[in-house]
Amino acid sequence: MKPLQALSLLQNLYTGVIWVAEDLTIQWVNSQTEQLLLVSKSRLIGLSILDLLIPTMSETKVITAESESLNQSTDPKAQLSENKSCVEASRDKLELQFHNAKEYLQPFIEYSRHIRGVNQPLHVHYSVTPMNQESGSYYLIEIWQGDRQSRLDKEQRLQEQHDVSREMLRSVAHEVKNPLAGIRGAAQLLIQQTQHPSEATNNGENTVLVDAKKLTTYAGIVISETDRLTKLIEQLLGSNQLPEWQSVNIHEPLEHVLLLIQSQYPQVTIKRDYDLSLPEITADKNQLIQVFLNLVNNACEALSEQDTTLLQAEYQPQLTLITRIEHQYTIGAQHHRQVIRVSIQDNGAGIADDLIERIFFPLVTGRANGTGLGLALVQEIIHRHEGAIEVSSQPGDTHFNVYLPLQLSNLHPQ
């Protein structure tokens, strides 16, 4: 039979393939289908595809309950009758899907279905494609395990986490190596200074002449580099101080930050686009200042570090702060009637494509003198406030959008 001969090409696919006749009986399966269903080809040939793909009883009830309310009876006979009715309804629905697919030549796909199978229930995805051949109408069914894709996704996520972890460790090693080299060099100089031979004294004994100024300088290097290491570790560990929740007008921390940075970056034009009618939110004001100070300072530094020779003569670095109310907004799994959005925008060169997906990871930075800890701390504080932060960037337009709920569901999130 020509269709079946052609199907032999599908024998070694990683997904199961089932060839079904117009009367919905199985005509051919590949070896992967046998492995998936744990049954031989000889047992599958001639079976109705409906008996194979019909949902399990638990899923049948769920599917049926989505469209109608079932009477929950405690009578065993009534339950048996109800179960039989559910199975028949599910079978009829599946048969109608096959009929409509053939009638309109329209494939369909089902995800995450718990099917009856042959020997045992299975969690699978499957697609059904109607096929018109000279010898009649057929269905080509592709079936694969429901957990296969999730396993592949998990492996991919683990690989990405591994790559990120390696990059973080390399960054930590780099940050730690520099002050350690300074400490070691200063210690060597201290040893050389204290072991320097001197001229003999009157009694014939050797003494050590020490340059107090040099010793102070070398000791200062040890102390400063040690402090730098300590600060780095503290930033990596994060703050363990509990937030001080209070009612905050979002414009207060914003204006405080602008007051701090406007004298540092006089070349940057600051534009405000505030909605002054915004309600107050529950937040830690000092932590919000830290968030906005990081974001604003990063934007201003990016504007200041640009190669001016590549810019147009009329170019003016500009920072824009926008506040708005967003309605019916979802953060994570929590739906909010209203949230406040704070947008910090700049017209700089933008963030590199290979960096923007990792920009909130610790120790990831696009600046030569950056530690990469600022944005990681920003995200931690925003999550502590049950909010979210997003970033989008292209040359001339970079947005950091911070979303904060008006009220916290937990007044002391960890």
Mean pLDDT of 45-53: 93
Q: Which of 66, 65, 61 is nearest to 84 (CA)?
A: 61
Alpha-helical (H) ranges within 76-211 are: 76-104, 146-194
pLDDT at position 20 over 90: yes
Question: Can you read off the two tokens belonging to residue 136?
Answer: 């009649």
Say what the pLDDT of residue 99 is: 93
Residues whose CB falls within 8 Å of the CB of residue 15, separated by 6 or more in sequence, listed in order: 32, 142, 143, 144
pLDDT at position 135 over 70: yes
Residue 209, amino acid:
L
Helix 374-384 with 285-304: angle, nearest 10 deg: 150
**pLDDT bucket at 333, cuts 50 / 70 / 90:** confident
Same topology for domains 2-147 and 246-307+315-405, yes or no?
no
Please tell me the CATH superfamily of domain 2-147, with its number.
PAS domain (3.30.450.20)
Question: Can you read off the two tokens belonging to residue 82?
Answer: 């109800």
pLDDT at position 148 over 90: no
Question: Can you read off the two tokens belonging to residue 245?
Answer: 């929740």
Contact status, residue 131 vs residue 138, Cβ threshold 8 Å: yes
- The structural domains of the chain, with segments of one domain joined by +, span 2-147, 151-237, 246-307+315-405
Burial of 288 (0-12, 13-18, 19+ CB in 10 A): buried
Residues whose CB falls within 8 Å of the CB of residue 139, separated by 6 or more in sequence, listed in order: 19, 20, 21, 24, 49, 98, 101, 102, 128, 129, 130, 131
Report the distance separating Cα 378 and Cα 391, nearest Å: 13
Report the distance separating Cα 130 and Cα 289, nearest Å: 61
Report helix, strand and coil shares of the chain as percent, to nearest 5: 45, 25, 30
- The pLDDT tens digits of the residues spanning 253-291 come to 999 999 888 888 888 899 999 999 999 999 999 889 989
Find the range with the poorest average confidence among 50-54, 207-211, 353-357, 364-368: 364-368
Find the range with the poorest average confidence among 50-64, 92-106, 318-332: 50-64
- The pLDDT tens digits of the residues spanning 374-399 come to 677 888 889 889 999 998 888 888 99
Q: Which of 391, 384, 301 is nearest to 348 (CA)?
A: 301
CB 388: neighbour CB atoms within 10 A? 20
Question: Can you read off the two tokens belonging to residue 144?
Answer: 């694969």
- The three-point CA angle 201-204-210 to 5° equals 40
For residue 288, what is the enclosing H or E element?
Answer: helix 285-304
Helix 146-194 with 212-237: angle, nearest 10 deg: 170
Average pLDDT, the chain: 78
| Percent of the chain residues past pLDDT 90, beyond the cut | 29
pTM of the entire predicted model: 0.50
CATH of the structural domain 151-237, one choice from 1.10.150.120, 1.10.287.130, 3.30.1130.10, 2.40.40.20:
1.10.287.130
Q: Which of 342, 351, 287 is nearest to 320 (CA)?
A: 342
Say what the pLDDT of residue 211 is: 72
What CATH number does the domain located at 246-307+315-405 have?
3.30.565.10
Say what the pLDDT of residue 359 is: 75
Mean pLDDT of 162-183: 67
Say what the pLDDT of residue 200 is: 45
Say what the pLDDT of residue 69 is: 44
**pLDDT bucket at 217, cuts 50 / 70 / 90:** confident
Say what the pLDDT of residue 264 is: 85
Say what the pLDDT of residue 413 is: 44
Residue 137, amino acid:
S
Say what the pLDDT of residue 72 is: 47
Report the distance separating Cα 398 and Cα 355, nearest Å: 13
Say what the pLDDT of residue 84 is: 67
Report which of residues 34 and 190 the model is more confident about: 34
pLDDT at position 402 over 90: yes
